[in-house]
A = this chain, B = another copy of it.
Protein backbone atom coordinates (compact mmCIF):
# COMPACT_ATOMS: atom_id res chain seq x y z
CA UNK A 1 0.00 0.00 0.00
CA UNK A 2 1.69 3.16 -1.26
CA UNK A 3 -1.18 5.56 -0.66
CA UNK A 4 -0.96 8.97 0.90
CA UNK A 5 -3.80 11.22 1.99
CA UNK A 6 -3.56 14.84 0.97
CA UNK A 7 -5.57 16.48 3.73
CA UNK A 8 -7.38 18.72 1.22
CA UNK A 9 -9.46 15.62 0.47
CA UNK A 10 -11.15 15.95 3.87
CA UNK A 11 -10.59 19.67 4.22
CA UNK A 12 -14.11 20.55 5.37
CA UNK A 13 -14.48 17.61 7.73
CA UNK A 14 -11.27 17.01 9.65
CA UNK A 15 -8.53 18.76 11.56
CA UNK A 16 -4.99 17.56 10.93
CA UNK A 17 -5.05 15.56 14.16
CA UNK A 18 -8.18 13.77 12.97
CA UNK A 19 -6.62 13.15 9.53
CA UNK A 20 -3.52 11.62 11.14
CA UNK A 21 -5.72 9.33 13.24
CA UNK A 22 -7.79 8.53 10.16
CA UNK A 23 -4.74 7.46 8.17
CA UNK A 24 -3.59 5.26 11.02
CA UNK A 25 -7.06 3.73 11.42
CA UNK A 26 -7.39 2.96 7.70
CA UNK A 27 -3.84 1.72 7.22
CA UNK A 28 -2.93 4.59 4.89
CA UNK A 29 0.82 5.04 5.33
CA UNK A 30 1.28 8.57 3.95
CA UNK A 31 -0.07 12.03 4.62
CA UNK A 32 0.36 15.44 2.98
CA UNK A 33 -0.80 18.24 5.27
CA UNK A 34 -1.90 21.72 4.25
CA UNK A 35 -0.32 24.53 6.19
CA UNK A 36 -3.54 26.10 7.45
CA UNK A 37 -4.37 22.84 9.28
CA UNK A 38 -0.77 22.46 10.36
CA UNK A 39 -0.82 25.92 11.93
CA UNK A 40 -4.01 25.04 13.83
CA UNK A 41 -2.45 21.91 15.29
CA UNK A 42 1.03 23.31 15.79
CA UNK A 43 4.08 22.03 13.97
CA UNK A 44 5.69 20.24 16.89
CA UNK A 45 2.56 18.43 17.91
CA UNK A 46 1.86 17.43 14.31
CA UNK A 47 5.40 16.14 13.80
CA UNK A 48 5.07 14.10 16.97
CA UNK A 49 1.70 12.59 16.04
CA UNK A 50 2.84 11.81 12.50
CA UNK A 51 5.96 10.10 13.80
CA UNK A 52 4.07 8.22 16.50
CA UNK A 53 1.81 6.77 13.82
CA UNK A 54 4.69 5.93 11.49
CA UNK A 55 3.33 8.04 8.64
CA UNK A 56 5.44 9.31 5.75
CA UNK A 57 4.90 12.98 4.87
CA UNK A 58 4.77 12.85 1.07
CA UNK A 59 4.65 16.61 0.79
CA UNK A 60 3.78 19.82 2.57
CA UNK A 61 1.17 21.98 0.83
CA UNK A 62 2.15 24.59 0.03
CA UNK A 63 4.84 27.14 -0.62
CA UNK A 64 4.97 29.39 -3.63
CA UNK A 65 2.35 32.09 -4.31
CA UNK A 66 5.12 34.48 -5.18
CA UNK A 67 2.49 37.09 -5.98
CA UNK A 68 1.80 37.54 -2.26
CA UNK A 69 3.32 40.51 -0.48
CA UNK A 70 5.02 38.41 2.22
CA UNK A 71 6.12 35.64 -0.16
CA UNK A 72 9.71 35.51 1.07
CA UNK A 73 8.96 35.16 4.77
CA UNK A 74 6.11 32.81 4.09
CA UNK A 75 8.25 30.51 1.96
CA UNK A 76 10.98 30.54 4.57
CA UNK A 77 8.46 29.46 7.20
CA UNK A 78 7.18 26.77 4.84
CA UNK A 79 10.69 25.40 4.38
CA UNK A 80 11.16 25.26 8.16
CA UNK A 81 7.86 23.47 8.60
CA UNK A 82 8.65 20.96 5.86
CA UNK A 83 11.98 20.33 7.54
CA UNK A 84 10.33 19.82 10.92
CA UNK A 85 7.89 17.30 9.42
CA UNK A 86 10.67 15.57 7.44
CA UNK A 87 8.47 16.03 4.37
CA UNK A 88 9.56 14.44 1.10
CA UNK A 89 9.10 17.85 -0.52
CA UNK A 90 7.56 21.29 -0.20
CA UNK A 91 4.97 21.69 -2.96
CA UNK A 92 5.12 25.03 -4.77
CA UNK A 93 1.94 26.48 -6.24
CA UNK A 94 3.67 29.41 -7.83
CA UNK A 95 0.90 32.00 -8.18
CA UNK A 96 -0.78 33.48 -11.24
CA UNK A 97 -0.81 36.94 -12.73
CA UNK A 98 -0.09 39.80 -10.32
CA UNK A 99 -3.17 41.95 -9.71
CA UNK A 100 -3.80 44.25 -12.65
CA UNK A 101 -1.18 42.65 -14.87
CA UNK A 102 -1.60 40.79 -18.15
CA UNK A 103 2.11 40.16 -18.58
CA UNK A 104 2.37 36.40 -18.31
CA UNK A 105 5.93 36.35 -19.61
CA UNK A 106 7.11 38.71 -16.90
CA UNK A 107 5.12 36.82 -14.22
CA UNK A 108 6.95 33.66 -15.22
CA UNK A 109 10.38 35.29 -15.15
CA UNK A 110 9.65 36.64 -11.72
CA UNK A 111 8.71 33.19 -10.43
CA UNK A 112 12.09 31.90 -11.46
CA UNK A 113 13.77 34.79 -9.66
CA UNK A 114 11.74 34.13 -6.51
CA UNK A 115 12.48 30.39 -6.50
CA UNK A 116 16.16 31.07 -6.96
CA UNK A 117 16.03 33.19 -3.80
CA UNK A 118 14.55 30.48 -1.61
CA UNK A 119 16.29 27.48 -3.17
CA UNK A 120 19.61 27.83 -1.27
CA UNK A 121 17.72 27.80 2.05
CA UNK A 122 15.68 24.81 0.98
CA UNK A 123 18.81 22.93 0.01
CA UNK A 124 20.43 23.75 3.31
CA UNK A 125 17.35 22.51 5.17
CA UNK A 126 17.31 19.34 3.09
CA UNK A 127 13.84 20.17 1.75
CA UNK A 128 13.37 19.45 -1.96
CA UNK A 129 11.11 21.99 -3.65
CA UNK A 130 8.45 20.52 -5.94
CA UNK A 131 7.00 22.80 -8.60
CA UNK A 132 3.44 21.69 -9.29
CA UNK A 133 2.36 22.64 -12.81
CA UNK A 134 -1.31 23.54 -12.54
CA UNK A 135 -4.00 23.07 -15.17
CA UNK A 136 -4.03 25.94 -17.70
CA UNK A 137 -7.52 26.91 -16.50
CA UNK A 138 -5.81 28.08 -13.29
CA UNK A 139 -3.10 30.14 -15.00
CA UNK A 140 -4.57 33.54 -14.12
CA UNK A 141 -5.37 32.96 -10.48
CA UNK A 142 -3.22 30.20 -9.00
CA UNK A 143 -0.20 29.19 -11.06
CA UNK A 144 1.24 30.31 -14.35
CA UNK A 145 3.43 27.23 -14.59
CA UNK A 146 1.05 25.07 -16.58
CA UNK A 147 2.86 22.19 -18.23
CA UNK A 148 5.38 19.64 -17.07
CA UNK A 149 7.71 20.73 -19.86
CA UNK A 150 7.66 24.30 -18.60
CA UNK A 151 8.23 23.19 -14.99
CA UNK A 152 11.19 21.04 -16.05
CA UNK A 153 12.67 23.95 -18.00
CA UNK A 154 12.53 25.91 -14.74
CA UNK A 155 14.20 23.02 -12.90
CA UNK A 156 16.96 22.81 -15.50
CA UNK A 157 17.62 26.51 -15.10
CA UNK A 158 17.62 26.27 -11.30
CA UNK A 159 19.79 23.19 -10.72
CA UNK A 160 19.68 20.73 -7.84
CA UNK A 161 17.22 20.53 -4.97
CA UNK A 162 14.17 21.20 -7.12
CA UNK A 163 11.81 18.95 -9.02
CA UNK A 164 8.13 18.55 -9.83
CA UNK A 165 4.93 17.25 -8.30
CA UNK A 166 3.02 15.47 -11.06
CA UNK A 167 -0.71 15.78 -10.43
CA UNK A 168 -2.69 13.68 -12.87
CA UNK A 169 -5.63 16.11 -12.68
CA UNK A 170 -3.51 19.01 -13.91
CA UNK A 171 -1.56 17.25 -16.65
CA UNK A 172 -3.64 14.32 -17.97
CA UNK A 173 -4.61 16.24 -21.16
CA UNK A 174 -1.01 17.08 -22.16
CA UNK A 175 0.07 15.54 -25.48
CA UNK A 176 3.68 15.64 -24.28
CA UNK A 177 3.01 14.06 -20.90
CA UNK A 178 4.68 10.70 -21.46
CA UNK A 179 7.72 12.32 -23.04
CA UNK A 180 8.11 14.88 -20.25
CA UNK A 181 7.63 12.33 -17.46
CA UNK A 182 10.46 10.36 -19.04
CA UNK A 183 12.54 13.52 -19.21
CA UNK A 184 11.84 14.29 -15.53
CA UNK A 185 13.08 10.91 -14.39
CA UNK A 186 13.58 9.69 -10.85
CA UNK A 187 15.58 12.75 -9.86
CA UNK A 188 12.91 15.34 -10.66
CA UNK A 189 9.67 13.53 -9.82
CA UNK A 190 9.14 14.35 -6.15
CA UNK A 191 5.46 13.49 -5.87
CA UNK A 192 2.58 11.94 -7.77
CA UNK A 193 -0.97 13.13 -7.04
CA UNK A 194 -4.18 11.44 -8.10
CA UNK A 195 -7.90 12.10 -8.42
CA UNK A 196 -10.08 12.18 -11.56
CA UNK A 197 -11.45 14.57 -14.20
CA UNK A 198 -15.24 14.56 -14.13
CA UNK A 199 -17.40 14.92 -17.24
CA UNK A 200 -18.95 17.41 -16.99
CA UNK A 201 -16.79 19.50 -14.69
CA UNK A 202 -18.88 22.22 -13.07
CA UNK A 203 -16.26 24.34 -11.38
CA UNK A 204 -12.70 25.29 -12.27
CA UNK A 205 -11.36 24.66 -8.79
CA UNK A 206 -13.45 22.45 -6.54
CA UNK A 207 -15.09 19.80 -8.72
CA UNK A 208 -12.50 17.05 -8.81
CA UNK A 209 -13.57 13.43 -8.89
CA UNK A 210 -12.63 10.28 -6.99
CA UNK A 211 -10.31 7.98 -8.91
CA UNK A 212 -12.41 5.89 -11.28
CA UNK A 213 -15.28 8.39 -11.54
CA UNK A 214 -13.80 10.33 -14.45
CA UNK A 215 -11.85 9.98 -17.67
CA UNK A 216 -8.19 9.99 -16.61
CA UNK A 217 -6.31 6.83 -17.53
CA UNK A 218 -4.62 6.60 -14.13
CA UNK A 219 -2.92 3.20 -14.56
CA UNK A 220 -1.27 4.46 -17.73
CA UNK A 221 0.06 7.64 -16.11
CA UNK A 222 1.23 5.71 -13.03
CA UNK A 223 3.02 3.35 -15.42
CA UNK A 224 4.85 6.27 -17.01
CA UNK A 225 5.75 7.78 -13.64
CA UNK A 226 7.03 4.48 -12.25
CA UNK A 227 8.74 3.72 -15.54
CA UNK A 228 10.67 6.95 -15.10
CA UNK A 229 11.95 5.67 -11.74
CA UNK A 230 9.50 7.14 -9.22
CA UNK A 231 8.98 4.70 -6.39
CA UNK A 232 7.13 6.93 -3.92
CA UNK A 233 3.49 6.99 -2.91
CA UNK A 234 0.38 8.03 -4.81
CA UNK A 235 -1.17 10.98 -3.00
CA UNK A 236 -4.93 11.34 -3.28
CA UNK A 237 -5.96 15.01 -3.45
CA UNK A 238 -9.62 15.77 -4.13
CA UNK A 239 -11.15 19.26 -3.94
CA UNK A 240 -14.87 18.60 -4.10
CA UNK A 241 -17.37 21.18 -2.91
CA UNK A 242 -20.45 19.22 -3.93
CA UNK A 243 -19.53 15.65 -3.15
CA UNK A 244 -16.50 14.42 -1.19
CA UNK A 245 -16.31 17.41 1.17
CA UNK A 246 -19.90 16.63 2.15
CA UNK A 247 -19.37 12.97 2.98
CA UNK A 248 -18.40 11.11 6.10
CA UNK A 249 -14.59 11.38 6.05
CA UNK A 250 -14.14 7.74 7.07
CA UNK A 251 -16.16 6.80 3.97
CA UNK A 252 -13.92 9.08 1.87
CA UNK A 253 -10.81 7.28 3.15
CA UNK A 254 -12.36 3.84 2.71
CA UNK A 255 -13.34 4.57 -0.90
CA UNK A 256 -10.00 6.25 -1.67
CA UNK A 257 -8.23 3.12 -0.51
CA UNK A 258 -10.55 0.81 -2.42
CA UNK A 259 -10.13 2.84 -5.62
CA UNK A 260 -6.38 3.06 -5.13
CA UNK A 261 -6.31 -0.73 -5.08
CA UNK A 262 -8.62 -1.21 -8.10
CA UNK A 263 -8.38 1.66 -10.59
CA UNK A 264 -5.01 3.40 -10.25
- For A196, the closest partner residue in chain B by CB is B102
State the CA gap A17–B250 with chains docked (Å). Answer: 59
State the CA gap A217–B204 with chains docked (Å). Answer: 21
- The answer to whether B199 and A201 touch across the interface, beta carbons within 8 angstroms, is no
* Closest CB in chain B relative to A26 CB, distance in Å: 27
* Closest CB in chain B relative to A209 CB, distance in Å: 11
For chain A, what secondary structure do more than half of its interface residues adopt (helix, strand, loop), or is it mixed?
Answer: loop
A146 at the interface (CB under 8 A from B): yes
Tell me the residues in window 88-144 of chain A with beta carbons closer than 8 Å to chain B beta carbons: 97, 102-104, 108, 135-137, 139-141, 144
Known A175-B108, A217-B104; judge A201-B137 contact (CB<8 A): yes
* Closest CB in chain B relative to A177 CB, distance in Å: 9
- The answer to whether A174 and B136 touch across the interface, beta carbons within 8 angstroms, is yes
Size of the A side of the interface (Cβ < 8 Å), in residues, is: 30
A216 at the interface (CB under 8 A from B): yes
State the CA gap A199–B220 with chains docked (Å). Answer: 34
- The answer to whether A215 and B140 touch across the interface, beta carbons within 8 angstroms, is yes
State the CA gap A229–B136 with chains docked (Å). Answer: 27
A159 at the interface (CB under 8 A from B): no
State the CA gap A140–B104 with chains docked (Å). Answer: 26
A243 at the interface (CB under 8 A from B): no
A197 at the interface (CB under 8 A from B): yes
State the CA gap A220–B102 with chains docked (Å). Answer: 10
- The answer to whether B217 and A102 touch across the interface, beta carbons within 8 angstroms, is yes
- For A108, the closest partner residue in chain B by CB is B175
Could you list some 5 contacts between A and B, CB below 8 A? A104-B173, A140-B173, A140-B199, A140-B215, A147-B175
Which A residues are closer than 8 A to B by beta carbons? Answer: 97, 102-104, 108, 135-137, 139-141, 144, 146-147, 149-150, 172-176, 197, 199-201, 204, 215-217, 220
